[in-house]
Chains A and B, each alone.
Chain A
């Protein structure tokens, strides 16, 4: 178990008659950025709460740093959390909010407070009251709070909610820097799957309280491989030409107008020429990659909001 910073064992949470989590077994290695994917209500937040000690599992166990977290409460001190909304006092300044957590953690470094505010791009607004900050600034402050105590494991639930594109890039860079330079392991959930795919090294897909798949980035890249997307109005003839004339069999008909071809991608020009020669009008032809969102939808079935 030593190599894993986090391991859950049959983690189950039942609220009344609702099974929010069902026998979840996830494993997160030290230094990983673990992306948690799931629709709203899939159980991502519940799982993060169980891990961080904010909630109690009905069954199962959480192992942190190789030890059972329920028998050693001090393990949770090595976790930084930002779950749902950033927990901030609106009538206090960002500096005071940070200082409260510093005091609770037995730290008192004014310079460090300043550096952490700079780290999340909040330098200069430390004297404003939190209630006067924008949603994005509050989110950054929430991340700053999570970083206090220099955690080994950071649990971030939708951390880029409300951030503008520039803010998203800054937070992404900051998390990557933390991960690379300080070796902080990060578990991050986000409904912006493409953003998640840019930073996560491993993914856990949760659907209706169950872990559908755990997959690392390399495996995901293999599964979401490049393809040639052809759109045409004459789909049946196009398939026949591809199979009979070009000997292409690794293809998939997506709808009445779209075909995905998974082989001979480098010969897209020849494919186009052959289709045109046979009198098939090609509306578009491009090499694309299946997105993480599409992969997620194919796994969980249905184009639902994530």
Chain B
């Protein structure tokens, strides 16, 4: 098993996919900062026309702001109040990290099958199990690297918007990223399963994008309206919903739910992947 993990690590760092996905991720999450900076720097008249005049503290429209001076003073205050914490939360809640990860998994896992390289490995004793375990380790590494990129890009974004690095709650960031990594790994195990089921990059990426964009939320919300069992909301059991609703100072119950849900999904999807890979015939 250790050798298969080493092989996958070699492949990960030798192939362009890893570097391309990392660059795409940096560009996409950095675009949030550019967007925020642009929005906060809007010309007063344009801002008023576009209903972009916001009060400090929350994002509700504030028609009481009348003069450009007052507007710009508020803009400056908003800029200076933006922290690294905010950017990290935007990055994770936006699903961009999920979609980039889904693309990486689709390419990494499916290429092994569509190139036929897996034929060289399957004769190894225990290789079918090792392949699944190894993919999880590679994806964990990718998610950790995503997390590090997220922190650095959030710091850069903070400098871009407010000219300084401001961290409100360092411990909170660590807990938040830790829980997000758990949820991301649960989502990753689903994407690995989909890769093994379809062995097609395009199908896996398409499903990854749809799930990442939370398209299934509509169905879950309808189910919530139809079924009401012991006050359990089905949508609360969704990985994506939990990724989106998780905050820095969420209730302990939410933290607990995230840990249980992500662990359960991670185990379930990996068991299904193992069943699939152990039974699949190599074409």
Chain A interface (Cβ < 8 Å from any Cβ of B): 49, 52-56, 73-74, 76-77, 79, 81, 83-92, 96-97, 99-101, 103-106, 145-146, 148
Closest chain B CB from A135 CB (angstroms): 14
- Compute how far the CA of A56 lies from the CA of B3 in the bound complex, rounded to whole angstroms: 25
B126/A73 in contact, CB under 8 A: yes
A54/B124 in contact, CB under 8 A: no
- Compute how far the CA of A79 lies from the CA of B121 in the bound complex, rounded to whole angstroms: 11
15 CB contacts below 8 A, A to B, read: A52-B122, A52-B123, A73-B126, A76-B124, A77-B123, A83-B119, A87-B118, A88-B116, A88-B117, A89-B15, A89-B115, A103-B10, A104-B124, A105-B3, A146-B120
- Compute how far the CA of A100 lies from the CA of B15 in the bound complex, rounded to whole angstroms: 12
B121/A101 in contact, CB under 8 A: yes
B124/A77 in contact, CB under 8 A: yes
Instruction: Give chain B's interface secondary structure class.
Output: helix
User: Which size bracket describes the interface of B in this complex?
Assistant: 20 to 34
Given the known A-B contacts A88-B115, A96-B14, are A101 and B122 also in contact in the complex, defined by CB atoms under 8 Å?
Answer: no
Tell me which of A56, A91, A104, A106 contacts B120 (CB under 8 A): A104
Q: List 14 extra interface pairs beyond A89-B111, A97-B117, A99-B10, CB under 8 A.
A: A49-B282, A52-B119, A55-B281, A55-B282, A76-B123, A76-B124, A76-B125, A77-B124, A81-B120, A81-B123, A89-B11, A100-B117, A103-B6, A103-B10
Chain B interface (Cβ < 8 Å from any Cβ of A): 3-4, 6-7, 10-11, 14-16, 111, 115-127, 279, 281-283
B281/A87 in contact, CB under 8 A: no
Given the known A-B contacts A76-B125, A84-B116, A89-B15, are A104 and B111 also in contact in the complex, defined by CB atoms under 8 Å?
Answer: no
- Which interface residue of A79, A90, A100, A104 has the most chain B CB atoms within 10 A? A104
**Smallest Cβ-Cβ distance to A82: which chain B residue:** B119
B11/A100 in contact, CB under 8 A: yes
**Smallest Cβ-Cβ distance to B121: which chain A residue:** A104
Given the known A-B contacts A89-B111, A89-B115, are A100 and B123 also in contact in the complex, defined by CB atoms under 8 Å?
Answer: no
Given the known A-B contacts A56-B281, A89-B117, A90-B115, are A100 and B126 also in contact in the complex, defined by CB atoms under 8 Å?
Answer: no
- Compute how far the CA of A163 lies from the CA of B7 in the bound complex, rounded to whole angstroms: 30
B124/A87 in contact, CB under 8 A: no
Given the known A-B contacts A53-B122, A96-B14, are A86 and B3 also in contact in the complex, defined by CB atoms under 8 Å?
Answer: no
Closest chain A CB from B278 CB (angstroms): 10
B7/A49 in contact, CB under 8 A: no
**Smallest Cβ-Cβ distance to A78: which chain B residue:** B123
**Smallest Cβ-Cβ distance to B124: which chain A residue:** A77
A53/B11 in contact, CB under 8 A: no
Tell me which of A104, A146, A148 contacts B3 (CB under 8 A): A104
- Compute how far the CA of A85 lies from the CA of B281 in the bound complex, rounded to whole angstroms: 16
- Compute how far the CA of A19 lies from the CA of B230 in the bound complex, rounded to whole angstroms: 52
A104/B4 in contact, CB under 8 A: yes
A49/B123 in contact, CB under 8 A: no
Chain B residues within 8 Å of A105, by CB: 3, 124
